[in-house]
Amino acid sequence: MNSASVADPRLRLSSENLLLLLAAAAGLGTGLLVIGFRYLIGWCRYLLQDTLVDSIVRAAQQHGLLLLGSWATILAPLLGGLLIGTLGVVLPFPNLSLSSLVSANRPLAPRPEWIPLKLVAAAVSLGAGAALGPEAPSVESGALLGCLLGQNLRLARERVQLLMAAGAAAGLAAGFNAPIAGVFLALELALARTFTTSAVSVVVLAAVVSALIAQVGLGAQPAFLLPTITQPAFVLPAYELHSLLEVPLYLGLGLLASLVSIAFGYALEWVKHLFGSGPLAAWPAWSKPILGGGILGCVGLGIPLALGVGYETIESILQGVPFSLGQLSLLLLGKVFLSAVSVGSGFVGGTFAPALFLGAVLGAGYGQVVGKALPAIALSPPAAYAMVGMGAVLAASVRAPLTAILLLFEMTRDYHIALPVMAAVGLSIWLTEQLHPPAIYPSARRRQEPKGLTVQEVMVPPSLLLPQDTPLREALERLLQQKCHSALVVDRQERLRGILTLEDLERALAHRGAGEVAELTVEQVSQSPVLTTFPDEAVAVAAEPLYEYDLRQLPVVSREDPEHVVGLLDRERVLLSQEIESVRQVLEPEVPAPGGVENGIPAQPTPSSPAPAE
């Protein structure tokens, strides 16, 4: 019996199987990175806080310098800032966020040393008391690992992005021991515009492998192992909904959660501006973390519970430790300020933990107020509202409602919390989206277009115009002949009156018989009014409705005459122009744009008036 040849197709690894193997490798590697990261955080905290500060405090007490001992807590953030500033000078690395990884305008070429440098900087920051969390370094390191695997094997950009999403899911799954939430984080933030059913298996496999590795190394507790290595960060109590009448009260909590998340987002943006382009922009880069550490230490003297990751405080709130409304208000304001200073000054960490902290504090205070205002109704304790507040603030802050709901569900492992969390999260995310505040983790759905690109440079001539009185049967034949998904509906003067899509025809057939539909005209089925854009509009602005409403094309009309069609903005062409422009920006100035080429796409004639209907 002849042995199989090396070139036998049966022995070749298909691209789908290769992706699954790479996803498992990303999950395994991310799980190991998270385990090492957790131990490194504990070690840095032991050195910077337990050893250094405690030694100074004991020495000051022995020599009668009580005032010096009380100020010794400032040293840990200051020393942490010094170490971060020094690391940025000696071994500089980009502080990439998840949103910048998955929606970079330029092709990303990460280096392997970025991952350990980021984790070391994050461990020093958190160990020194920065008011941030460990989840973002875990998620972003997983995404970088997935990107490295894909690019080293020269995979297509879409597959590299899928592996980045798988690595991000693995990071969250290992950190929170929440693989389901990790999967939905990838789907909501990293794959919002490129989601396919085949991508699910890749992301799920990476999340499951990473969660299993983390459980082996860190235990099965559904939280980070902070501040010590052997104890869980916080344990959530069993949730109990006393009455369905409480559900409307959780809507009020959702309203407040949206306001807190908006304030949090603006605070982050303001402090980033202060250090990046404001009065402190002229300071040397190495000095900004030192200044931030000094601010953290000074404010921490008055609000010590607002420093650090904050899981100990969350656990105290959830276990019913009494806090007054004044204390909770001070913690809320202090955490917003200290987290913003930590991010703006250059400390490395995530904003998941601050969002959970803010939600717990807000929910506990809200629960106290509601309990005092409605003493005749048997309500859940403030700890229950704290749990729901955690999910509501997290969802509104990171724009990932499903991730927040499932994360709370996996952390509590109690189905009874689902209804209140869904009510509060639904309202908070809706209000936040209506107000359009700055997003902490912008979704890949809002991928930025190249700056300066206008609609006129990208649009194409309208492919098919149909008069209003065209019978539907003829319209269908024209669509099939032209191989078009939609057609613009115009009057006899060729002025825009609506748009007809294949979905419109399918809906008409679903509600009427085939014979009745055949007697209808285009005007009776088409959609009107129509979303339009203008030739001089920036593509970054004009393309938003394409992604938000999942549209394929957008009519381009004259700004002077909004019913005069001058072209079409096609979503595929927008994406193509973006990809080519991104590559061209990388090659500049070596490869300037050739003549007759607009943003990498050969210029097409733009008619002064739309083509007549055939």
pTM listed for this prediction: 0.74
Domain pair 13-218 / 244-446, same fold: yes
Single out the residue of 56, 110, 52 nearest to residue 83, CA to CA: 52
More confident residue, 512 or 112: 112
Could you tell me if 604 and 462 are in contact, meaning their C-beta atoms sit under 8 angstroms apart?
Answer: no
The tokens for 614 are 């055939």
Of 43-47, 189-193, 464-468, the least confident: 189-193
Contacts of 200 (CB under 8 A, 6+ apart): 183, 187
% of the chain at pLDDT higher than 90: 21
* Fold (CATH) for 455-602: CBS-domain (3.10.580)
Mean pLDDT of 247-275: 91
Rounded-to-integer distance, Cα 202 and Cα 211, Å = 14
Do residues 411 and 223 make contact, with C-beta atoms less than 8 angstroms apart? Answer: yes
Question: What pLDDT, on a 0 to 100 scale, did the predictor assign at position 366?
Answer: 94
Report the distance separating Cα 419 and Cα 318, nearest Å.
19
What pLDDT, on a 0 to 100 scale, did the predictor assign at position 295? 92
Question: Can you spell out the DSSP letters for 2-67?
Answer: PPPPTT-GGGSPPHHHHHHHHHHHHHHHHHHHHHHHHHHHHHHHIIIIIIIIHHHHHHHHHTT-HH
- pLDDT the model gives residue 439: 63
Q: What mean pLDDT do residues 392-401 have?
A: 88
Question: Amino acid identity of 110?
Answer: P
pLDDT tens for 33-89 read 999 999 999 899 888 887 777 777 676 666 666 555 556 678 888 889 999 999 988
Q: For the packed helices 247-276 and 382-398, what is the interaxial angle rounded to 10 degrees?
A: 50
| Residue 227: both structure tokens together | 């501040």
Residue 5 has pLDDT above 60, yes or no: no
Rg (CA), the chain: 28
Alpha carbon distances (Å) from 158 to 107, 194, 404, 514, 576: 11, 8, 26, 41, 13
Cα 310 from Cα 80, distance rounded (Å): 17
Residues in CB range of 503: below 8 A, 6 or more apart: none
Write out the two tokens for 290. Answer: 């030192």
Strand partners, 486: 501
**Nearest 5 degrees, angle CA 512-CA 517-CA 520?**
130
| 3-class SS of residue 499 | strand
Q: Is the separation of the CB atoms in 98 and 143 below 8 Å?
A: yes
Beta-bridge partners for 597: 602
Tokens of 110: 């990460």
Architecture of domain 244-446: Orthogonal Bundle (1.10)
pLDDT tens digit string along 110-137? 788 889 999 999 999 999 989 998 888 8
Amino acid at 451: K
More confident: 130 or 7: 130
Tens digit of pLDDT for each residue in 271-317?
998 998 888 888 888 899 999 999 998 998 889 899 988 888 988 88
Please enumerate in sequence order all residues whose Cβ is within 8 A of that of 300, keeping only pairs 6 or more positions apart, or say none.
Answer: 73, 74, 77, 129, 306, 307, 338
E strand map for 387-513: 465-467, 486-490, 496-501
- How far from each other are the two terminal CA atoms of the chain, in whole angstroms? 66
Residue of higher predicted confidence among 193 and 517: 517
* DSSP secondary structure code for residue 567 in this structure: E
Of 116-120, 132-136, 453-457, 586-590, which one has max mean pLDDT?
116-120
User: With the C-alpha atoms ordered 601, 605, 609, 610, is the resulting torsion angle positive or negative?
Assistant: negative
CA 148 to chain centre: 20
Neighbouring residues of 614: CB distance < 8 A, sequence distance ≥ 6: 464, 478
Q: Return the structure tokens found at 382.
A: 């403030």
Strands 553-557 and 565-570: antiparallel
Contact 218, 388 (CB under 8 A): no
How many C-beta atoms lie closer than 10 Å to residue 258's C-beta?
27
Both tokens of 56, joined, read 């100074």
Q: Rounded CA gap, 509 and 520, in Å?
A: 11
Pairing of strands 465-467, 553-557: unpaired
Token pair of 534 as six digits: 């203008």
What's the fold here for domain 13-218?
Clc chloride channel (1.10.3080)
The residues that bridge with 467 in the sheet, in sequence order, are: 490
Encoded amino acid at 508, one letter: A
Q: Look-up: residue for tokens 């854009």?
A: 533
Average pLDDT over the chain reads 78
Handedness of CA 341, 343, 344, 347 (dihedral sign): positive
Render 85-145 in DSSP notation, one character per residue: HHHHHHS------HHHHHT-SS-----TTHHHHHHHHHHHHHHHT-S-BSHHHHHHHHHHH
**Residues 346-393: tens digit of each pLDDT:** 899 888 889 999 999 999 999 999 988 888 777 888 888 998 999 999
Q: Count Cβ neighbours within 10 Å for each residue of 98-113 and write b for 16 or more, e otherwise.
A: bbebbbebeebebeee
pLDDT for residue 232 = 42
Instruction: Retrieve residue 565's tokens.
Output: 């069609």
Band (pLDDT 50/70/90 cuts) for residue 239 is low
Give the contacts of 157 (CB within 8 A, at least 6 positions apart).
107, 579
- The domain segmentation of the chain, as residue ranges, is 13-218, 244-446, 455-602
C-beta atoms surrounding 596 within 10 Å: 7
Average pLDDT of 472-488? Answer: 81
Number of other CB atoms surrounding residue 597 within 10 Å: 13
